[in-house]
A and B are shown apart, each in its own frame.
Chain A
Amino acid sequence: MTGKFDIRSWTCPLPLQNYPTIVMGHGSGGKMMSDLIRHMFLPLLENEALIQLGDAAVLEIDPGNTRVSRLAFTTDSFVVHPLVFPGGNIGDLAVYGTVNDLAMTGARPLYLSAGFILEEGLPMDLLGQITTTFASAAEIAGVQVVTGDTKVVNKGHGDGLYINTTGIGLIPPGIEIAPSNAQVGDAVIVSGTIGDHGMAIMSIREGLEFETQITSDTAPLHELVETMLAASMEIHCLRDATRGGLAAALNELAKSSNLGITFEEGAVPLQPAVIAACEMLGMDPFYVANEGKLVAMVQGEMAEEVLAAMHSHPLGQEAAIIGQVVAEHPGLVVSKTNIGGSRVVDLPAGELLPRIC
């Protein structure tokens, strides 16, 4: 990270330190907004393209490569509340979330844009903390934030901060990964313990708080994907399991491919504390959100090799084969329970709510 956020060192005609919180003027396109950009965002995100401050960034993509690769292009919006949670904040969530969307196509993520929608009254210190994390995450993920936008909304009209991103990356030739590409006999692999992010958020949610070591698993997955592809190109589907949890990811893949999925509940990696938290609140861990986990459908014969490759990467150490793609019950995900029964694992109905019954 190049710049460091320190409000005391700013020296500009209208010192930003006069404003401990965001006010409407910061979004009106004038001097105040210009100062905010120059003194808050630029020093932290500094790169050649961004400092041009043009409307759009002009980027050299893979110079010297005469075969034009395919472009992966994504957009995402981050509205998480609270803004800061155990293991991260909306800043790294936004970067890794976007990077992961790209990584699920097999792309190498390259550039991000960032639109910050700030609520009047947002403390400057907090914005600084989040932007620092945002910049640091971009560096860790090896992507550049090359263009941005800033808006301010009236107090009461935005949860402190919303971030919208787009991301682009390049897909090397020969990679054919798509939700509809699953084949009968594919192994279903999950990259690690599930439910961590959702329960980390739950642990600080008003009215439900509890003490725990659970932290969000927010992380960039593109290098893990590269490691997997190096072991085998027969990776047919990838999905990052975010909102809706493992169940949503599996269901989406089953429906896109119009095939069935079966998996063993006992094979799904779960941290004991996450299990305990889910039991206490009456929630099913298969529906709890993740931010650094992926589901892969891999050609059956290559599954063990891909798994071994995953185990060699820090983000895949607890990866496990949990099931397979089948021709039966197309579009449905069915699990085998640990007593030998079975149940359909459907898409979650809506927001996951704690229960007493």
Chain B
Amino acid sequence: MCLGIPGKVIEIYQANDMIMGKVDFGGVIKEACLEFIPDIRVGEYTIIHVGFGISKLDEEEAMRTLEMLREMEMLADELPELNQGLSA
């Protein structure tokens, strides 16, 4: 369950006493409710599920983890090439 897609907040405003915003997913912009991430700022990323931001994406953590995983590649490089395609 739980289709949650990262998008960039490009506008924040109030509507019906709720914090609302416009989120850019990369060429597609949709309104979302940001009540659950009240400290989000324009330019920051959020995970959107059914039109609601459920978390503020921790960009530093994301970068750190990717770096760590990429560095980890060095060890696996010595292993035989993974057999690609259909494996029974």
- Is the C-beta of A140 less than 8 angstroms from some C-beta in chain B? no
Please tell me which one of the listed residues B5, B28, B85 contacts residue A342 in the complex, with CB atoms under 8 A apart.
B85
* Contact between chains at A212 and B50 (CB < 8 Å): no
- Is the C-beta of A272 less than 8 angstroms from some C-beta in chain B? yes
- Is the C-beta of A282 less than 8 angstroms from some C-beta in chain B? yes
Residue numbers in B under 8 Å from A28 (CB-CB)? none
- Is the C-beta of A19 less than 8 angstroms from some C-beta in chain B? no
* Contact between chains at A276 and B27 (CB < 8 Å): yes
Residue numbers in A under 8 Å from B27 (CB-CB)? 212-214, 271-274, 276-277
Interface size on A, residues (CB 8 A): 22
Interface size on B, residues (CB 8 A): 19
Please tell me which one of the listed residues A203, A279, A336, A357 contacts residue B85 in the complex, with CB atoms under 8 A apart.
A336
Interface string of A5-24 (1 = CB under 8 A from B): 00000000000000000000
Residue numbers in B under 8 Å from A61 (CB-CB)? none
Nearest B residue to A275, CB-CB:
B26
Report how far A42 CA is from B25 CA in the complex, Å.
46
Nearest B residue to A210, CB-CB:
B30
Please tell me which one of the listed residues A212, A274, A336, A357 contacts residue B29 in the complex, with CB atoms under 8 A apart.
A212
Given contacts A336-B85, A340-B82, A342-B86, contact A356 B28 (CB under 8 A): no
Shortest Cβ distance from B62 into chain A, in angstroms?
17
- Is the C-beta of A355 less than 8 angstroms from some C-beta in chain B? yes
Nearest A residue to B23, CB-CB:
A280
Residue numbers in A under 8 Å from B29 (CB-CB)? 210-212
Residue numbers in B under 8 Å from A275 (CB-CB)? 26
- Is the C-beta of B41 less than 8 angstroms from some C-beta in chain A? no
- Is the C-beta of B84 less than 8 angstroms from some C-beta in chain A? yes
Please tell me which one of the listed residues A271, A272, A279 contacts residue B5 in the complex, with CB atoms under 8 A apart.
A279
Residues from 17 to 64 in B contacting A, C-beta threshold 8 Å: 22, 25-30, 48-50
Report how far A280 CA is from B8 CA in the complex, Å.
13
* Contact between chains at A357 and B3 (CB < 8 Å): yes
Shortest Cβ distance from A218 into chain B, in angstroms?
20
Shortest Cβ distance from A272 into chain B, in angstroms?
5
Please tell me which one of the listed residues B2, B30, B50 contacts residue A211 in the complex, with CB atoms under 8 A apart.
B30
Report how far A8 CA is from B1 CA in the complex, Å.
57
Residues from 7 to 52 in A contacting B, C-beta threshold 8 Å: none
27 examples of A-B residue contacts, CB within 8 angstroms: A203-B28, A211-B22, A211-B28, A211-B29, A212-B27, A212-B29, A213-B27, A214-B27, A214-B28, A271-B27, A272-B26, A272-B27, A273-B27, A273-B28, A276-B25, A276-B28, A277-B25, A277-B28, A279-B5, A340-B82, A342-B86, A355-B3, A356-B2, A356-B3, A356-B49, A357-B2, A357-B3
